[in-house]
Amino acid sequence: MKVDRLALGLGGAAAVTVGTVVAILVLGYVPLAEFPQLSESPADIPGTIAFSTFDRDRSCVMTVPASGGTPAEVYCRPCGPKTGHDYLQGA
C-alpha cells in the first residue's frame, strides 16, 4: 500500500515537471523588462521629494528635487515638552 502511494506521488510530481517544461517550450520564455539605471541619468527624474527631520532642538519639513540637489527647509518648529520628537518618543 505504501509503495503504491509513493509511486503515485512520484508519478504525479514527474507529470507536473514534464508539463511545466513542455508549457515553457511551447509557449516560450518571456524575459523581464529592462529599466534604465537611475545612476546613469539622474537629472531625468522629475518631481520633488518631501521629508521630515528631527533633532533635540527642532523638527523640520524639507524638500529636495528628485533628480538630486540641496535640501531646502519648508517649515521648522522648536521641539520642547510634549511637541515634535519628544512627544513622539513619549518623553
- Taking only the tens place, the pLDDT of each residue in 14-67 is 999 998 888 888 877 777 778 777 666 666 778 899 999 988 888 899 999 888
> Would you say 79 and 86 are in contact if contact means Cβ atoms under 8 Å apart?
yes
Residue 54: which of 79, 29, 26 has the closest Cα? 79
**How many Cβ atoms sit within 10 Å of the Cβ of residue 83?**
13
pTM as predicted: 0.43
When pLDDT is cut at 50, 70 and 90, the band that residue 1 belongs to is low
- pLDDT value at residue 50: 95
State how far Cα 2 lies from the chain centre: 47
Burial 19-37 (b: 16+ CB within 10 A, else e): eeeeeeeeeeeeeeeeeee
86, pLDDT greater than 60: no
**How many Cβ atoms sit within 10 Å of the Cβ of residue 68?**
10
When pLDDT is cut at 50, 70 and 90, the band that residue 83 belongs to is low
- pLDDT value at residue 21: 87
